[in-house]
Copies of this chain bind each other. A is one copy, B any other.
Protein backbone atom coordinates (compact mmCIF):
# COMPACT_ATOMS: atom_id res chain seq x y z
CA UNK A 1 0.00 0.00 0.00
CA UNK A 2 1.16 3.59 -0.60
CA UNK A 3 1.38 4.43 3.10
CA UNK A 4 3.41 1.32 3.75
CA UNK A 5 5.66 2.31 0.88
CA UNK A 6 6.16 5.76 2.37
CA UNK A 7 7.17 4.35 5.70
CA UNK A 8 9.61 2.10 3.92
CA UNK A 9 11.12 5.08 2.18
CA UNK A 10 11.76 6.83 5.43
CA UNK A 11 13.30 3.71 6.85
CA UNK A 12 15.34 2.85 3.79
CA UNK A 13 18.90 3.88 4.42
CA UNK A 14 21.56 3.60 1.83
CA UNK A 15 23.29 0.25 1.78
CA UNK A 16 26.64 1.76 0.96
CA UNK A 17 27.57 4.67 3.23
CA UNK A 18 30.79 6.03 4.67
CA UNK A 19 29.99 3.90 7.73
CA UNK A 20 29.50 0.66 5.83
CA UNK A 21 32.15 1.25 3.16
CA UNK A 22 35.01 -1.25 3.11
CA UNK A 23 37.43 0.33 5.61
CA UNK A 24 40.41 -0.71 3.53
CA UNK A 25 39.05 1.30 0.62
CA UNK A 26 38.62 4.25 2.98
CA UNK A 27 42.27 3.90 4.02
CA UNK A 28 43.53 4.24 0.45
CA UNK A 29 45.18 7.52 -0.48
CA UNK A 30 46.46 8.48 -3.88
CA UNK A 31 47.98 11.93 -3.96
CA UNK A 32 48.91 11.95 -7.66
CA UNK A 33 45.18 12.28 -8.30
CA UNK A 34 44.31 13.65 -4.88
CA UNK A 35 42.57 16.80 -3.59
CA UNK A 36 44.94 19.28 -5.27
CA UNK A 37 44.34 17.63 -8.62
CA UNK A 38 40.57 17.55 -8.09
CA UNK A 39 40.72 21.27 -7.25
CA UNK A 40 42.75 21.89 -10.43
CA UNK A 41 40.02 20.18 -12.43
CA UNK A 42 37.40 22.42 -10.83
CA UNK A 43 39.39 25.55 -11.63
CA UNK A 44 39.92 24.35 -15.20
CA UNK A 45 36.18 23.88 -15.71
CA UNK A 46 35.61 27.29 -14.13
CA UNK A 47 38.04 28.92 -16.58
CA UNK A 48 36.21 27.29 -19.48
CA UNK A 49 32.97 28.75 -18.18
CA UNK A 50 34.51 32.21 -18.02
CA UNK A 51 35.40 32.38 -14.31
CA UNK A 52 38.17 34.84 -13.51
CA UNK A 53 41.47 33.68 -12.07
CA UNK A 54 44.90 35.35 -11.91
CA UNK A 55 45.93 33.07 -14.80
CA UNK A 56 44.47 31.80 -18.05
CA UNK A 57 45.34 28.12 -17.93
CA UNK A 58 45.98 25.33 -15.46
CA UNK A 59 49.38 23.69 -16.00
CA UNK A 60 49.28 20.10 -14.79
CA UNK A 61 52.71 19.10 -13.59
CA UNK A 62 51.20 16.59 -11.18
CA UNK A 63 51.44 13.42 -13.20
CA UNK A 64 53.87 11.77 -15.59
CA UNK A 65 51.55 12.16 -18.55
CA UNK A 66 53.83 13.13 -21.43
CA UNK A 67 51.32 13.41 -24.28
CA UNK A 68 48.98 15.56 -22.22
CA UNK A 69 51.95 17.93 -21.88
CA UNK A 70 52.33 18.08 -25.66
CA UNK A 71 54.87 15.32 -26.33
CA UNK A 72 54.17 13.79 -29.72
CA UNK A 73 53.74 10.02 -30.09
CA UNK A 74 56.50 7.94 -31.68
CA UNK A 75 55.28 7.62 -35.27
CA UNK A 76 56.40 4.02 -35.72
CA UNK A 77 54.58 2.84 -32.61
CA UNK A 78 51.33 4.42 -33.71
CA UNK A 79 51.68 3.06 -37.23
CA UNK A 80 51.98 -0.47 -35.88
CA UNK A 81 48.98 0.01 -33.55
CA UNK A 82 46.87 1.48 -36.38
CA UNK A 83 47.82 -1.39 -38.70
CA UNK A 84 46.86 -3.91 -36.01
CA UNK A 85 43.58 -2.08 -35.37
CA UNK A 86 42.55 -1.87 -39.01
CA UNK A 87 44.42 -4.55 -40.97
CA UNK A 88 43.09 -3.27 -44.30
CA UNK A 89 45.87 -0.70 -43.92
CA UNK A 90 48.38 -3.50 -44.48
CA UNK A 91 47.58 -2.92 -48.18
CA UNK A 92 48.20 0.82 -47.96
CA UNK A 93 51.35 2.13 -49.63
CA UNK A 94 51.60 4.95 -47.08
CA UNK A 95 52.75 2.63 -44.31
CA UNK A 96 56.39 1.49 -44.12
CA UNK A 97 57.25 -2.17 -44.58
CA UNK A 98 58.88 -2.63 -41.19
CA UNK A 99 55.72 -1.40 -39.45
CA UNK A 100 53.66 -3.82 -41.54
CA UNK A 101 55.92 -6.75 -40.71
CA UNK A 102 55.59 -6.06 -36.99
CA UNK A 103 51.82 -5.61 -37.18
CA UNK A 104 51.46 -8.77 -39.23
CA UNK A 105 53.48 -10.71 -36.69
CA UNK A 106 51.43 -9.42 -33.75
CA UNK A 107 48.18 -10.25 -35.54
CA UNK A 108 49.49 -13.77 -36.25
CA UNK A 109 49.79 -14.14 -32.49
CA UNK A 110 46.19 -13.06 -31.86
CA UNK A 111 43.19 -15.41 -31.95
CA UNK A 112 41.48 -15.06 -35.33
CA UNK A 113 44.31 -12.63 -36.18
CA UNK A 114 42.32 -9.92 -34.43
CA UNK A 115 43.24 -7.39 -31.73
CA UNK A 116 39.66 -7.99 -30.58
CA UNK A 117 40.32 -11.50 -29.26
CA UNK A 118 41.25 -12.15 -25.67
CA UNK A 119 44.92 -13.00 -25.47
CA UNK A 120 46.20 -15.67 -23.12
CA UNK A 121 46.12 -14.40 -19.54
CA UNK A 122 49.91 -13.96 -19.60
CA UNK A 123 49.75 -12.04 -22.88
CA UNK A 124 50.36 -12.76 -26.57
CA UNK A 125 53.09 -15.42 -26.93
CA UNK A 126 55.18 -13.68 -29.59
CA UNK A 127 55.14 -10.42 -27.61
CA UNK A 128 56.36 -12.26 -24.54
CA UNK A 129 59.18 -13.71 -26.65
CA UNK A 130 60.09 -10.25 -27.92
CA UNK A 131 60.17 -8.95 -24.37
CA UNK A 132 62.47 -11.77 -23.27
CA UNK A 133 64.78 -11.03 -26.21
CA UNK A 134 64.80 -7.34 -25.26
CA UNK A 135 65.65 -8.09 -21.63
CA UNK A 136 68.48 -10.38 -22.67
CA UNK A 137 69.93 -7.73 -24.95
CA UNK A 138 69.48 -4.97 -22.36
CA UNK A 139 71.27 -7.10 -19.78
CA UNK A 140 74.17 -7.98 -22.05
CA UNK A 141 73.30 -11.61 -22.51
CA UNK A 142 71.84 -12.56 -19.14
CA UNK A 143 69.36 -15.33 -20.01
CA UNK A 144 65.67 -14.39 -20.10
CA UNK A 145 62.93 -17.00 -20.37
CA UNK A 146 59.71 -15.81 -21.99
CA UNK A 147 57.81 -18.15 -19.72
CA UNK A 148 58.69 -15.74 -16.88
CA UNK A 149 57.23 -12.75 -18.73
CA UNK A 150 53.67 -11.54 -18.10
CA UNK A 151 51.99 -8.72 -19.95
CA UNK A 152 50.11 -6.37 -17.61
CA UNK A 153 47.65 -3.47 -17.72
CA UNK A 154 50.30 -0.82 -17.07
CA UNK A 155 52.95 -1.54 -14.45
CA UNK A 156 50.47 -0.82 -11.63
CA UNK A 157 48.45 -3.93 -12.44
CA UNK A 158 51.54 -6.14 -12.20
CA UNK A 159 52.65 -4.58 -8.94
CA UNK A 160 49.22 -5.06 -7.38
CA UNK A 161 49.02 -8.67 -8.62
CA UNK A 162 52.37 -9.65 -7.11
CA UNK A 163 51.55 -7.91 -3.82
CA UNK A 164 48.21 -9.69 -3.74
CA UNK A 165 50.01 -13.04 -3.90
CA UNK A 166 52.32 -12.12 -1.05
CA UNK A 167 49.95 -10.53 1.41
CA UNK A 168 48.77 -12.92 4.10
CA UNK A 169 48.93 -13.58 7.80
CA UNK A 170 47.60 -11.92 10.94
CA UNK A 171 49.16 -10.38 14.02
CA UNK A 172 52.90 -10.97 14.25
CA UNK A 173 52.89 -12.87 10.97
CA UNK A 174 51.04 -10.13 9.09
CA UNK A 175 52.86 -9.42 5.84
CA UNK A 176 55.19 -6.42 5.94
CA UNK A 177 56.08 -4.59 2.74
CA UNK A 178 59.21 -2.44 2.73
CA UNK A 179 58.86 0.66 0.59
CA UNK A 180 61.07 3.69 0.09
CA UNK A 181 60.05 7.02 1.52
CA UNK A 182 59.38 9.09 -0.49
CA UNK A 183 57.46 6.52 -2.58
CA UNK A 184 55.08 6.40 -5.48
CA UNK A 185 51.68 6.28 -3.74
CA UNK A 186 50.49 3.23 -5.66
CA UNK A 187 52.49 1.25 -3.09
CA UNK A 188 50.92 2.77 0.02
CA UNK A 189 47.49 2.59 -1.63
CA UNK A 190 47.83 -1.09 -2.50
CA UNK A 191 49.21 -1.90 0.95
CA UNK A 192 46.27 -0.11 2.59
CA UNK A 193 43.76 -1.82 0.34
CA UNK A 194 45.22 -5.24 1.16
CA UNK A 195 45.60 -4.47 4.83
CA UNK A 196 49.30 -5.31 4.87
CA UNK A 197 51.90 -3.52 7.01
CA UNK A 198 53.78 -0.66 5.38
CA UNK A 199 57.45 -0.62 6.42
CA UNK A 200 59.11 2.67 5.58
CA UNK A 201 62.78 2.89 4.72
CA UNK A 202 63.92 6.46 4.20
CA UNK A 203 66.00 7.51 1.22
CA UNK A 204 68.91 9.80 2.02
CA UNK A 205 68.08 13.28 0.78
CA UNK A 206 71.53 14.55 1.76
CA UNK A 207 73.10 12.07 -0.66
CA UNK A 208 70.98 12.55 -3.76
CA UNK A 209 68.20 10.35 -2.38
CA UNK A 210 70.47 7.32 -2.31
CA UNK A 211 69.29 4.12 -0.68
CA UNK A 212 71.33 3.50 2.47
CA UNK A 213 71.73 -0.16 3.41
CA UNK A 214 71.95 0.67 7.12
CA UNK A 215 68.56 2.32 6.92
CA UNK A 216 67.20 -0.88 5.37
CA UNK A 217 68.52 -2.88 8.32
CA UNK A 218 67.08 -0.38 10.79
CA UNK A 219 63.64 -0.45 9.17
CA UNK A 220 63.65 -4.23 8.90
CA UNK A 221 64.64 -4.86 12.50
CA UNK A 222 62.12 -2.38 13.82
CA UNK A 223 59.34 -3.91 11.72
CA UNK A 224 60.15 -7.46 12.80
CA UNK A 225 58.87 -6.59 16.24
CA UNK A 226 55.30 -6.33 15.00
CA UNK A 227 55.00 -8.04 11.59
CA UNK A 228 56.67 -10.42 9.17
CA UNK A 229 58.60 -8.47 6.53
CA UNK A 230 58.27 -10.43 3.31
CA UNK A 231 58.80 -8.00 0.43
CA UNK A 232 61.07 -5.13 -0.44
CA UNK A 233 59.99 -2.66 -3.13
CA UNK A 234 62.55 -0.52 -4.91
CA UNK A 235 61.86 2.19 -7.46
CA UNK A 236 64.85 2.75 -9.74
CA UNK A 237 65.19 5.31 -11.27
CA UNK A 238 63.31 6.85 -8.38
CA UNK A 239 59.79 8.20 -8.36
CA UNK A 240 59.30 10.89 -7.04
CA UNK A 241 62.96 11.34 -6.20
CA UNK A 242 64.72 10.93 -9.56
CA UNK A 243 67.86 9.20 -8.27
CA UNK A 244 69.54 6.42 -10.25
CA UNK A 245 70.89 3.65 -8.07
CA UNK A 246 74.50 2.60 -8.30
CA UNK A 247 75.43 -0.99 -8.99
CA UNK A 248 76.95 -1.29 -5.55
CA UNK A 249 73.75 -0.13 -3.92
CA UNK A 250 71.69 -2.66 -5.88
CA UNK A 251 74.09 -5.41 -4.85
CA UNK A 252 73.65 -4.44 -1.22
CA UNK A 253 69.87 -4.53 -1.53
CA UNK A 254 69.93 -7.92 -3.21
CA UNK A 255 72.32 -9.32 -0.63
CA UNK A 256 70.03 -8.02 2.10
CA UNK A 257 66.98 -9.58 0.42
CA UNK A 258 68.89 -12.85 0.08
CA UNK A 259 69.86 -12.86 3.74
CA UNK A 260 66.46 -11.90 5.06
CA UNK A 261 64.41 -14.02 2.66
CA UNK A 262 62.61 -11.10 1.08
CA UNK A 263 60.78 -11.11 -2.22
CA UNK A 264 62.20 -8.27 -4.34
CA UNK A 265 59.91 -6.03 -6.38
CA UNK A 266 61.93 -3.79 -8.69
CA UNK A 267 59.90 -0.98 -10.24
CA UNK A 268 62.05 -0.18 -13.27
CA UNK A 269 59.54 1.71 -15.39
CA UNK A 270 61.97 4.62 -15.83
CA UNK A 271 64.80 2.42 -17.13
CA UNK A 272 65.02 4.49 -20.32
CA UNK A 273 64.91 7.81 -18.42
CA UNK A 274 68.47 8.42 -17.25
CA UNK A 275 69.83 11.92 -17.78
CA UNK A 276 72.94 12.41 -15.66
CA UNK A 277 75.96 11.42 -17.70
CA UNK A 278 77.63 9.96 -14.61
CA UNK A 279 74.71 7.60 -13.98
CA UNK A 280 73.71 4.41 -15.69
CA UNK A 281 70.70 2.15 -15.35
CA UNK A 282 71.49 -1.29 -13.91
CA UNK A 283 68.64 -3.74 -13.85
CA UNK A 284 68.18 -5.64 -10.61
CA UNK A 285 68.19 -8.81 -12.67
CA UNK A 286 71.56 -8.19 -14.26
CA UNK A 287 73.13 -7.31 -10.94
CA UNK A 288 71.62 -10.44 -9.41
CA UNK A 289 73.12 -12.50 -12.22
CA UNK A 290 76.54 -11.00 -11.70
CA UNK A 291 76.39 -11.89 -8.01
CA UNK A 292 76.53 -15.54 -9.04
CA UNK A 293 74.20 -18.50 -9.28
CA UNK A 294 73.77 -18.70 -5.48
CA UNK A 295 71.84 -15.48 -5.82
CA UNK A 296 70.53 -15.69 -9.37
CA UNK A 297 68.92 -19.08 -8.84
CA UNK A 298 67.30 -18.30 -5.52
CA UNK A 299 66.21 -14.70 -4.99
CA UNK A 300 62.58 -14.18 -5.98
CA UNK A 301 62.52 -11.05 -8.09
CA UNK A 302 59.77 -9.32 -10.04
CA UNK A 303 60.71 -6.47 -12.33
CA UNK A 304 58.13 -4.11 -13.84
CA UNK A 305 58.14 -2.08 -17.03
CA UNK A 306 55.53 0.02 -18.81
CA UNK A 307 54.60 1.74 -22.06
CA UNK A 308 53.70 4.87 -20.11
CA UNK A 309 57.14 6.27 -19.44
CA UNK A 310 60.49 6.11 -21.27
CA UNK A 311 60.50 8.06 -24.52
CA UNK A 312 57.12 6.81 -25.76
CA UNK A 313 54.95 8.09 -22.90
CA UNK A 314 51.99 5.98 -24.00
CA UNK A 315 50.04 6.07 -20.73
CA UNK A 316 46.58 5.70 -22.24
CA UNK A 317 47.35 2.32 -23.78
CA UNK A 318 47.86 0.78 -20.34
CA UNK A 319 50.65 -1.47 -21.56
CA UNK A 320 53.27 -3.07 -19.36
CA UNK A 321 55.00 -6.27 -18.43
CA UNK A 322 56.66 -7.99 -15.52
CA UNK A 323 59.42 -10.57 -15.45
CA UNK A 324 59.31 -12.85 -12.42
CA UNK A 325 62.35 -14.92 -11.43
CA UNK A 326 62.59 -17.97 -9.18
CA UNK A 327 58.89 -18.29 -8.59
CA UNK A 328 57.86 -21.63 -7.13
CA UNK A 329 56.19 -23.55 -10.01
CA UNK A 330 52.98 -24.14 -8.09
CA UNK A 331 52.84 -20.48 -7.12
CA UNK A 332 53.35 -19.58 -10.77
CA UNK A 333 50.25 -21.57 -11.66
CA UNK A 334 48.40 -19.65 -8.95
CA UNK A 335 49.59 -16.35 -10.42
CA UNK A 336 48.34 -17.34 -13.87
CA UNK A 337 45.01 -18.33 -12.32
CA UNK A 338 44.75 -14.99 -10.53
CA UNK A 339 45.55 -13.08 -13.73
CA UNK A 340 43.08 -15.15 -15.72
CA UNK A 341 40.15 -13.78 -13.72
CA UNK A 342 40.64 -10.42 -15.41
CA UNK A 343 41.01 -12.35 -18.71
CA UNK A 344 43.86 -10.42 -20.36
CA UNK A 345 45.62 -7.07 -20.51
CA UNK A 346 44.40 -4.76 -23.31
CA UNK A 347 45.80 -6.18 -26.52
CA UNK A 348 46.53 -2.80 -28.12
CA UNK A 349 48.62 -1.99 -25.04
CA UNK A 350 50.42 -5.28 -25.58
CA UNK A 351 51.08 -4.26 -29.19
CA UNK A 352 52.47 -0.90 -28.01
CA UNK A 353 54.72 -2.74 -25.55
CA UNK A 354 55.96 -4.93 -28.39
CA UNK A 355 57.09 -1.92 -30.41
CA UNK A 356 58.96 -0.53 -27.42
CA UNK A 357 60.94 -3.74 -26.91
CA UNK A 358 61.32 -4.33 -30.63
CA UNK A 359 61.91 -0.92 -32.25
CA UNK A 360 63.17 -0.37 -35.81
CA UNK A 361 66.73 -1.61 -36.39
CA UNK A 362 69.37 0.54 -38.10
CA UNK A 363 68.88 -1.20 -41.44
CA UNK A 364 65.10 -0.81 -41.44
CA UNK A 365 63.26 1.98 -43.29
CA UNK A 366 61.66 3.53 -40.20
CA UNK A 367 64.91 3.73 -38.26
CA UNK A 368 65.99 7.29 -39.12
CA UNK A 369 62.68 8.85 -38.12
CA UNK A 370 62.34 6.63 -35.06
CA UNK A 371 65.86 7.42 -33.92
CA UNK A 372 65.36 11.13 -34.42
CA UNK A 373 62.08 11.21 -32.50
CA UNK A 374 63.47 9.13 -29.65
CA UNK A 375 66.65 11.13 -29.21
CA UNK A 376 64.83 14.46 -29.47
CA UNK A 377 62.48 13.46 -26.67
CA UNK A 378 65.19 12.02 -24.41
CA UNK A 379 67.53 14.95 -25.17
CA UNK A 380 64.85 17.49 -24.25
CA UNK A 381 64.06 15.60 -21.04
CA UNK A 382 67.73 15.64 -20.05
CA UNK A 383 67.91 19.37 -20.69
CA UNK A 384 64.71 20.01 -18.75
CA UNK A 385 66.01 17.90 -15.86
CA UNK A 386 69.08 20.12 -15.60
CA UNK A 387 67.17 23.36 -16.03
CA UNK A 388 64.64 22.40 -13.37
CA UNK A 389 67.36 21.61 -10.86
CA UNK A 390 69.20 24.87 -11.57
CA UNK A 391 66.25 27.22 -11.46
CA UNK A 392 64.86 25.61 -8.30
CA UNK A 393 68.20 25.70 -6.49
CA UNK A 394 68.49 29.42 -7.16
CA UNK A 395 65.34 30.07 -5.13
CA UNK A 396 65.91 30.82 -1.42
CA UNK A 397 64.25 28.14 0.67
CA UNK A 398 64.15 25.53 -2.08
CA UNK A 399 66.73 22.76 -2.38
CA UNK A 400 66.61 20.30 -5.22
CA UNK A 401 68.72 17.19 -5.75
CA UNK A 402 69.89 16.49 -9.29
CA UNK A 403 67.18 14.91 -11.42
CA UNK A 404 69.37 11.99 -12.47
CA UNK A 405 66.49 10.08 -14.02
CA UNK A 406 62.72 9.48 -14.20
CA UNK A 407 60.49 12.53 -14.83
CA UNK A 408 60.19 14.45 -11.60
CA UNK A 409 61.86 16.96 -9.33
CA UNK A 410 61.19 16.51 -5.64
CA UNK A 411 62.73 19.56 -3.97
CA UNK A 412 62.56 20.28 -0.28
CA UNK A 413 60.90 23.56 0.51
CA UNK A 414 61.14 25.75 3.55
CA UNK A 415 57.67 26.52 4.90
CA UNK A 416 57.61 29.28 7.53
CA UNK A 417 56.24 28.31 10.96
CA UNK A 418 53.27 30.64 10.54
CA UNK A 419 52.25 28.81 7.36
CA UNK A 420 52.70 25.51 9.18
CA UNK A 421 50.35 26.76 11.87
CA UNK A 422 47.80 27.94 9.33
CA UNK A 423 47.88 24.55 7.64
CA UNK A 424 47.41 22.83 10.98
CA UNK A 425 44.40 25.01 11.66
CA UNK A 426 42.97 24.05 8.26
CA UNK A 427 43.63 20.38 8.96
CA UNK A 428 46.02 19.87 6.09
CA UNK A 429 49.73 19.12 5.78
CA UNK A 430 51.83 22.30 5.33
CA UNK A 431 52.97 21.35 1.83
CA UNK A 432 49.38 20.77 0.80
CA UNK A 433 48.60 24.34 1.84
CA UNK A 434 51.61 25.44 -0.19
CA UNK A 435 50.50 23.56 -3.31
CA UNK A 436 46.93 24.78 -2.90
CA UNK A 437 48.01 28.41 -2.70
CA UNK A 438 50.31 27.90 -5.67
CA UNK A 439 47.43 26.48 -7.68
CA UNK A 440 45.09 29.31 -6.73
CA UNK A 441 47.71 31.96 -7.47
CA UNK A 442 49.33 30.63 -10.63
CA UNK A 443 47.30 27.72 -12.04
CA UNK A 444 50.26 25.40 -11.51
CA UNK A 445 49.22 21.97 -10.28
CA UNK A 446 51.87 19.99 -8.40
CA UNK A 447 51.61 17.35 -5.68
CA UNK A 448 52.56 17.91 -2.02
CA UNK A 449 55.42 15.81 -0.67
CA UNK A 450 53.13 14.56 2.08
CA UNK A 451 51.39 12.44 -0.56
CA UNK A 452 54.63 10.51 -1.16
CA UNK A 453 55.93 10.43 2.40
CA UNK A 454 58.87 12.40 3.80
CA UNK A 455 60.82 12.72 7.01
CA UNK A 456 58.79 14.33 9.79
CA UNK A 457 59.15 18.09 9.74
CA UNK A 458 60.41 18.31 6.15
CA UNK A 459 58.30 19.56 3.26
CA UNK A 460 58.51 18.87 -0.45
CA UNK A 461 56.56 18.88 -3.66
CA UNK A 462 56.73 16.72 -6.75
CA UNK A 463 56.57 18.29 -10.18
CA UNK A 464 57.07 16.68 -13.56
CA UNK A 465 59.64 17.98 -16.01
CA UNK A 466 57.31 17.14 -18.89
CA UNK A 467 55.98 20.52 -20.07
CA UNK A 468 57.72 21.90 -23.14
CA UNK A 469 60.96 23.80 -22.50
CA UNK A 470 59.21 27.16 -22.87
CA UNK A 471 56.29 26.24 -20.65
CA UNK A 472 58.51 24.62 -18.07
CA UNK A 473 60.62 27.77 -17.87
CA UNK A 474 57.55 29.92 -17.33
CA UNK A 475 56.27 27.42 -14.78
CA UNK A 476 59.53 27.47 -12.83
CA UNK A 477 59.70 31.25 -12.85
CA UNK A 478 56.12 31.56 -11.67
CA UNK A 479 56.88 29.01 -9.00
CA UNK A 480 59.94 31.00 -7.90
CA UNK A 481 57.96 34.23 -7.69
CA UNK A 482 55.19 32.52 -5.80
CA UNK A 483 57.64 30.94 -3.39
CA UNK A 484 59.27 34.27 -2.56
CA UNK A 485 55.87 35.87 -2.04
CA UNK A 486 54.80 32.94 0.11
CA UNK A 487 57.91 33.24 2.28
CA UNK A 488 57.34 36.97 2.67
CA UNK A 489 53.71 36.58 3.52
CA UNK A 490 54.28 34.04 6.28
CA UNK A 491 57.67 35.07 7.64
CA UNK A 492 58.24 37.43 10.52
CA UNK A 493 60.65 40.30 9.98
CA UNK A 494 63.42 38.56 11.89
CA UNK A 495 63.12 35.44 9.77
CA UNK A 496 63.34 37.43 6.61
CA UNK A 497 66.48 39.16 7.82
CA UNK A 498 68.17 35.94 8.86
Which A residues are within 8 Å of any B CB, using their own CB?
5-6, 8-9, 12-18, 20-23, 25-26, 28-30, 32-33, 41, 63, 65-71, 73, 78-79, 81-82, 85-86, 89, 92, 94, 110-112, 114-121, 153-154, 156-157, 160, 164-168, 186, 189-190, 193, 230-231, 258-259, 261-263, 294, 298, 300, 308, 312-318, 326-328, 330-331, 334, 337-338, 340-349
Contacts and interface: CB of A to CB of B under 8 A. Distances in A.
Contacts of A157: 342
Contacts of A119: 316
Contacts of A5: 294
A268 to B, nearest CB: 18
Contacts of A164: 22, 25, 193
In order of increasing CB-CB distance, the 4 nearest A-B pairs are: A68-B111, A316-B347, A82-B86, A67-B114
B65 A118 contact: yes
A71 B112 contact: yes
A33 B340 contact: yes
Contacts of A160: 342
Contacts of A73: 114, 116
Contacts of A153: 153, 318, 342, 346
A337 B166 contact: no
B16 A327 contact: yes
B70 A81 contact: no
A123 to B, nearest CB: 11
20 contacts: A8-B258, A12-B298, A14-B326, A15-B166, A16-B263, A16-B328, A17-B330, A17-B331, A18-B330, A20-B166, A23-B168, A65-B117, A82-B89, A116-B315, A118-B316, A153-B342, A160-B342, A186-B341, A318-B318, A318-B345
B349 A346 contact: yes
B82 A15 contact: no
A253 to B, nearest CB: 15
A317 B167 contact: no
Contacts of A82: 82, 85-86, 89
Given A18-B331, A29-B337, 8 more contacts: A6-B294, A14-B331, A68-B112, A71-B112, A92-B94, A119-B316, A157-B342, A316-B348
B15 A63 contact: no
A326 to B, nearest CB: 7
Contacts of A66: 116
Nearest to A110: B316
A255 to B, nearest CB: 10
B314 A261 contact: no
Contact of A337 (B28, B308, B328, B349): B28
A316 B344 contact: yes
B68 A300 contact: no
B294 A67 contact: no
Interface centre among A23, A112, A263, A330 (most CB of B within 10 A): A112
Nearest to A17: B328
A193 B327 CA distance: 21
Interface centre among A25, A294, A298 (most CB of B within 10 A): A25
